[in-house]
């Protein structure tokens, strides 16, 4: 994956250990899991491949865990078939704008709300793990919500500190910094984004 024009993701095919380096003796830092905190099938963004001295295939993946930005290596057979996405989302916390690109071309842009200075939206490279409709009844989070691989100290998200991208029942606070880390959009904008941004899309937060 280049995390811009062409990226690949996959489900876990088994609960394999994720290691710091592409070899079986390397330290394990996590285990693959089948489900997110919200009970949706977990996804892993594939970054690169490696063939070890014994001819075994390894892949480096982004991990949805703390600390943010963690990556690790798993054997190729621990993941299912690759899915390809050609989009990436850029979130700019300074200008309070989110922009979606497809094959390098801008296809969507809107003003957003981000985390307050005391509970900031984290910077880094992440990806979209899940899409949920009417989360929590649809009032606070609007009609749609995306779960990312980023985590916050605090979060508006009910699933244990996951940084979400979702709608709002307080559109007057956008643009601004009203959240505990999540990225808020007006409901009409998140409803447009749902039609354009597939699962597995890389997310860069600046």
Q: Give the active site residue among 11, 50, 88, 166.
A: 166
88 flagged as catalytic:
no
103 is written with which tokens? 């094959």
180 flagged as catalytic:
no
Residue 181 region, left (φ>0) first, then alpha (ψ -120 to 50), else beta? left
What positions carry a catalytic annotation? 166, 182
């Amino acid at each position: 994956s280049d995390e811009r024009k062409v990226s690949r993701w996959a489900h876990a095919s088994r609960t394999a250990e994720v290691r710091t380096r592409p070899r079986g003796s390397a330290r394990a830092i996590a285990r693959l899991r089948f489900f997110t905190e919200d009970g949706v099938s977990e996804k892993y963004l594939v970054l690169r491949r490696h063939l070890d001295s014994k001819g075994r295939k390894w892949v480096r993946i982004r991990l949805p865990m703390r600390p943010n930005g963690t990556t690790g290596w798993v054997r190729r057979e621990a993941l299912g078939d690759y899915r390809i996405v050609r989009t990436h989302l850029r979130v700019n916390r300074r200008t309070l704008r989110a922009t979606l690109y497809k094959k390098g071309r801008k296809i969507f842009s809107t003003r957003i709300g981000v985390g307050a200075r005391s509970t900031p939206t984290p910077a880094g490279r992440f990806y979209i793990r899940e899409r949920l409709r009417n989360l929590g009844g649809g009032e606070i989070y609007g009609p749609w919500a995306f779960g990312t691989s980023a985590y916050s100290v605090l979060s508006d998200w009910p699933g244990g500190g996951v940084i979400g991208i979702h709608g709002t029942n307080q559109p007057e606070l956008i643009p601004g910094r009203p959240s505990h880390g999540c990225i808020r959009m007006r409901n009409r904008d998140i409803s447009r984004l749902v039609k354009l941004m597939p699962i597995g899309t890389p997310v860069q937060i600046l």
